[in-house]
Amino acid sequence: MNGILYSATVFIWGSTWLAIAYQLGDTPVVVSVAWRFGLAAIALFAILAFQKKTPRLSAENHKLAALLALCLFSNNFLCFYAATQYLPSGLNAVVFSLAPILNALNLWIIEKRRPSATFIQGALIGFTGVVLLFASQFMNAEMDWTILLGLMLSLLGTYFFSMGNMVSAHAQRKGMPLLPTTAWSMGYGAIYLVVIALVMGLPLGVTMTPMYLSALVYLAIVGSVIGFNTYLALVGRIGAAKAAYCTVLFPLVALSLSTLFEGYEWTCLSALGVLLVLTGNLRVFGIPQPVKRWYQSSIA
């Protein structure tokens, strides 16, 4: 069962980046993200109602849910969607895989938890990999500086996500129920985005094409509801540290799909960059015990 949950999480999270690329076009980014989390919130509330778990929060907890919405279910995805206009979706996923490293940096800044030497080594390796990966893109694009804009947007979105993790951890320490909090946060995120769209004078309609609508449903239901719950189930069964290996593997899925469907072109430099990003994450998390056991048995 753990293998099924793990594989499902890696594939779902790895494939959502390509689905984001399919949403770009006539519908404004802010409207697309609003619909995504609006539908996801409705689905989560429906699940909670079916389970007869009333999603009630105190007034103070609603404030935290709204803050979580700003970090995790709105502004971060505005950045990711905008970045996908300038970057292949797989590169967006590689940048996002640095989220655990940013989490540790935020804990250092906010809670004064100094990272270990192992973490610092992994972080430096990972960031070096991103630099090499995008150096390859600059050379291929003949110094197309829109790639730099895409990188900055992707990093900003990842930082918003990391701050959302800090807010979520604080909320869980306060004993806030996870799924109801998520449902309310997704709802608040959708409302926030709708308000932005209205202030900007944007229509709330979406592109009524099979490609756009299928991507929207996939992102809302599979990416935001099912993927979130498979990950939570995995955390409950094997622990957060082991479940975090998903962030190491899903960029490989994203880059494979980007190669197949977006024509992403690999170079020696980009391959080395991806390898360093993965190595940096593995340095931070450590080598999985099953791999260690396999290696020890193979040399015995």
The token duo for 260 is 């197949």
- Count Cβ atoms below 10 Å from residue 293 Cβ, excluding itself: 10
Range of the domain at 39: 2-299
Reading the chain (300 residues) residue by residue, the pLDDT tens digits are 777 887 888 899 889 999 999 998 889 999 999 999 999 999 999 988 888 876 678 888 899 999 999 998 999 999 999 999 988 888 888 888 788 778 778 878 877 777 778 877 887 888 888 778 777 666 665 556 788 899 899 999 999 988 888 888 788 788 888 788 889 999 999 999 999 999 999 999 999 999 999 999 999 999 988 887 787 677 667 655 566 667 677 888 888 898 898 888 888 888 888 888 878 877 776 665 555 555 455 555
Domain count within the chain: 1
Q: What is the pLDDT of residue 235?
A: 61
Q: Which of 84, 74, 78, 83 is nearest to 37 (CA)?
A: 74
Angle formed by the axes of helices 89-96 and 146-173, nearest 10°? 40
Give the CA-trace dihedral at 13, 11, 99, 120, to 10 degrees. 180
Q: What is the pLDDT of residue 295?
A: 45
Q: What is the pLDDT of residue 88?
A: 85
Q: What is the pLDDT of residue 191?
A: 97
